[in-house]
Amino acid sequence: MLAAGIGSALEWYDYFIYGMASALVFGPLFFPAYDPAIGVMASFTTFAMGFLARPFGGLFFGHFGDKWGRKPMLVATLLLVGGSTFLIGLLPTYAQIGIWAPILLLTLRLCQGFGAGAEYGGAVVMAVEFAPEGKRGVYGAFAPFGVTIGNALAGATFWATGMLAADDLMSWGWRVPFLGSVVLLALGVYIRARVTETPVFQEAAAKRPPLKIPALEAIRRSPRNFFVVVGARLAENALGYLYPVFGLSYLITTLDVPRNVAVFGVICGNIALACGLFFFAWLSDRIGRRPVYIFGALFSAACAVPFFLMVGTRDPTLIALAFIIEMGIGSGAMFGPQAVYFAELFGPRLRYSGFAFARELGSIIAGGPAPLIAATLVAWMAGAPWGVCIYVVAISFVTAFAVWCGPETYKNDIRADDVQDRPA
């Protein structure tokens, strides 16, 4: 559980500092030829492009994770994402090497996305396969808890660097979070290298040989379950990046809220999310995954307008409260049971591939373009957030419907080799 939680925290710290840098510094540093608003949109585009690599990473590492085991893939993905993040901290800017600066930034972002496409899935699968019966939701929540802590650490790091003078931040301060990740990377690799292989995988490998192409078998054997994962991912993933990434940019750029106030609101939201996801994961062990997940999607839809009304006051307390309510309850109710629910939808011989590939297909549709879509809607509506509200409501309803169409899994046997589609 420690390896699942800490590994995800360290890796997603790397991933989220890129998102925050996209909102705060990458525009003027790597796209200075554009108007500031267009520069931010260009940096969000590189953020979105990283999501294109994630399904391929999920396919590649998931394939070998189902054949060779969960442990070696967890170490490999950590090295790939962490190494890419460290190199971003060494990049020269547009003022130093011109067009090569954004090209190199995009290349490293794609490498980051390739590794991240399988890291979370592997951490979840490991946690769930070690869990005792009746506690899979809580055990599975360690991986998303790590993601949330990683996001909070990223926010805290940029909050601290935001204390620097503006010139220092733009000249060297922005590099510190990226270069400092090498220490976290070393710790994560040390912890994950000491983890044993899961008993569920060992038992499945002893009974039957690995499948030739596990991802293809996941689609063939459980097509509805596969697409339930894609649909269920939409609102959770889109809102998981829309509020902490686009929301940060919206507060600072559009509403002229002080940088530290905006970043502090994101930190508060992530603390609330860390608490909420454990509660809702625990609740899903008692009443089922589907009712908890559907509640989270519908609550997020209901919160869209109130969130922007609250942050629109520019009051620091209401800004923090807006992030706490939406992320702690709406996102928490989806993110908490999501890990175990997705893992339970597939058998052990295709669990890593099916989980990672389906989940990252949803990331392309939702998480990657979410900040860019939101920024475009705000620009189109001259700074008004109501187009973003409609977008949030629409994807939340799609997710609620997708989960409603799926099976309930909280009483399934996690060791069952073949998980077929079941009626809802």
Task: Tell me the residue type at 285.
Answer: D
**pLDDT of amino acid 19:** 74
Q: Are 396 and 297 within 8 A, CB to CB?
A: yes
CA distance 168 to 405: 52
Task: Report the alpha-carbon distance of residue 28 to residue 34 in Å, rounded.
Answer: 8
CATH homologous superfamily of 2-405 equals MFS general substrate transporter like domains (1.20.1250.20)
Using the structure block, give the residue that is written with the tokens 């990683």.
150
pLDDT at 368: 67
| pLDDT at residue 424, as a whole number | 39
Residues in the chain: 424
pLDDT in tens, the chain (424 residues): 777 777 778 777 877 788 778 777 887 888 776 666 666 677 777 777 777 888 888 888 888 888 887 788 888 888 898 888 899 999 998 888 888 888 898 899 889 888 887 787 888 888 888 888 888 999 888 888 888 888 778 878 877 877 778 788 888 888 988 898 888 788 888 888 888 877 887 787 777 777 787 777 778 887 888 899 989 999 998 898 788 878 888 898 889 898 889 888 988 998 899 899 999 999 999 999 999 999 999 999 999 999 999 999 999 999 999 999 999 999 999 999 998 999 898 888 888 888 888 887 877 787 667 777 888 888 888 888 899 999 999 999 999 999 999 999 988 888 776 555 444 3
Q: How far apart are CA 320 and CA 147, in angstroms?
A: 20
**Measured between alpha carbons, how far is 45 from 39 in angstroms, rounded to an integer?**
10
What does residue 400 show for φ and ψ, rounded to 5 degrees? -60, -40
For residues 120 and 146, give the distance between their C-alpha atoms in angstroms, rounded to a whole number.
Answer: 9
Rounded CA-CA distance 303/301 in Å is 5
Count CB atoms within 10 A of the CB of residue 388: 25
pLDDT at 27: 77
